[in-house]
Amino acid sequence: MKYDILLIGGNGFVGRRLAAKLQLNGFRVLLPTRNISASNELRLLPNTNLVDANVSEFDVLKKLCSQVKPNGVVINLVGVLHDKPAVPYGKVFRDAHVTLVKNIISCMQIYGLKRYLHMSALGADSSGPSMYQRSKGDAENAIRESHLDWTIFRPSVIFGRDDEFINLFIKLCKIFPILPLANSTAKFQPVNVDDVASAFLQALSKSKTIHHAYDLVGPQVLTMKEIVNFSARKARTYCLVISIPQFLGYLQAMMFELLPFRTLMSRDNIASMAIPNVLPKNSRDALVEDFGIARHSLEDLFF
């Protein structure tokens, strides 16, 4: 059986939303994952075939691409947030953001596949201040140099009811009445997960999106402090945010990195905040201007 779409990273936060939208629109989807046991909601989608596969292995990725129709689409949503310090970035970022993309390009070319949709990030830049931004920038460069019919999406921080961003601060506000915070004035323009998934879906039928990159942002620009205050209101509690100097923020992040559980904040995250994560000056507001999407705000979702 040949599939309309190979959805890489489809078991993640955005991927689950996009898989549901693809199902509603009649696409047959091949979705590789290394964690099928955590994919119960995806198993309910009759036109989506979950397969146990490690896409970081070239031969596995090659086999997956062989199952896509000649006019089919490969979508890559893979992204990781943390890595050990290295120049220009560590192995985790290199493998997930750069090597995987280059392997996808090679495997698509082997089977003559052309259409590729890619999840990048707002601020992606090979010369950016953080490893994350540099790895995402290098991935974009590889895509632009390919002969694929690519479309790149660069979202700001993505939020939704089960996200790991707003909900993290909600949990912290419930635990800590006082929260020391570096970069409390760092700016973000959070974008709703369903709006992002809708842009991907529309791009499948809009040939004019080929060879274009789109910045995806929500309707509000918020500082980190304002996001924490919003989270406290959602948690129906009060949390006093105390701004701390940059060097203390790095020490705080280093401590988080050393703890034996999932990293809450890394030094690289702080480095990323050096550049406002908002719609760049003179950039198009793609969700509104190109995709005609009425964007959702944080208040729309949580209140």
- How confident is the model over 13-41, as pLDDT tens digits? 999 999 999 999 999 999 999 887 767 78
| Of residues 177, 184, 187, the one with CA closest to residue 246 | 184
**pLDDT greater at residue 222 or residue 262:** 222
Domain span at 205: 3-160+191-219+277-295
Which pair of structure tokens corresponds to residue 51?
């397969």
Name the E strands within 10-113.
29-33, 48-52, 68-76
| 3 state SS of 109 | helix
Burial category of 127 from C-beta neighbours within 10 Å (exposed 0-12, middle 13-18, buried 19 and up):
exposed
**Cα–Cα distance between 191 and 189 in angstroms, integer?**
6
What is the chain's mean pLDDT, rounded?
A: 92
Residue 73 lies in a domain: yes
CATH number at residue 205: 3.40.50.720
- Per residue in 181-238, pLDDT (tens digit) is 888 899 999 999 999 999 999 999 999 999 999 999 999 999 999 999 999 988 889 8
Residues 276, 215: Cα–Cα separation, whole Å: 13
Of 4-8, 128-132, 158-162, give the lowest mean pLDDT range: 158-162
pLDDT in tens, 144-176: 999 999 999 999 999 998 888 888 888 888 988
Q: Which one has a higher pLDDT value, 294 or 164? A: 294
* 258 inside domain: no
> For 263-282, what is the mean pLDDT?
89
CA–CA separation, 77 vs 94, rounded Å? 15
- Number of domains making up the chain: 1
Is 22 part of any domain? yes
- As a whole-number percent, the residues of the chain with pLDDT over 90 amount to 72
pLDDT at 261: 66
Q: Is 262 contained in some domain?
A: no
Residue 253 included in any domain: no
Does residue 268 lie in a domain region? no
User: Does residue 165 lie in a domain region?
Assistant: no
Residue 277 binned pLDDT confidence (cut-offs 50, 70, 90):
very high
Comparison of pLDDT for 30 and 261, the residue scoring more: 30
pTM over 0.85: yes
pLDDT at 303: 54
Digit-coded pLDDT (tens) for 101-120: 999 999 999 999 999 999 99
Q: Within 13 Å and on the Cβ side, how many CA atoms surround 57?
A: 10
Q: Would residue 92 count as lying in a domain? A: yes
Instruction: Please give the pLDDT value at position 302.
Output: 60
Provide the 3-class DSSP secondary structure of residue 188. Answer: strand
- For residue 235, with 0-12 CB atoms within 10 Å meaning exposed, 13-18 middle and 19 or more buried, which class applies? middle
